[in-house]
């Protein structure tokens, strides 16, 4: 999944990645994804990562949002 997201972010038509962890609390685990690499690719390509505070998603988490900010990734 990491490779798919990074490849998508390199496409000039992609500006945001929605639900970067893909988890649904109480329904399914998140993707097997290297979020550090995804955040670095988001920073390098100027791609935004969705923050979804809906209680079933909480995607990105507060800790991942802080890390993305520290890396210089966009989190609208």
In a domain, 32, yes or no: yes
Domain for residue 17, yes or no? yes
Domain count, the chain: 1
**Does pTM top 0.85 for this prediction?**
no
Q: Is 66 helix (H, G, I), strand (E, B) or coil?
A: helix
Residue 76 domain flag:
no
Cα-Cα end-to-end distance for the chain: 22
Express each pLDDT in 43-73 by its tens digit: 999 999 988 777 777 778 788 888 888 888 7
Tens of pLDDT, residues 10-44? 999 999 998 888 778 778 887 899 999 999 999 99
**CA dist list (Å): 33 to 65, 74:** 15, 18
Can you give the residue range of the structural domain that contains 52?
2-71
pLDDT of residue 7: 98
Domain contains 36: yes
Token representation of residue 48: 């935004």
How many Å apart are CA 54 and CA 71, to the nearest integer? 24
């Amino acid at each position: 999944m990491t490779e798919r997201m990074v490849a998508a972010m390199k496409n000039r038509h992609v500006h945001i990645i929605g639900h970067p962890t893909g988890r649904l609390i109480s329904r399914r685990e998140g993707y097997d994804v290297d979020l550090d690499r995804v955040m670095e690719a988001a920073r390098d390509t100027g791609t935004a990562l969705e923050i979804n505070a809906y209680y079933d998603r909480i995607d990105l988490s507060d800790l991942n949002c802080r890390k993305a900010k520290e890396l210089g990734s966009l989190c609208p």
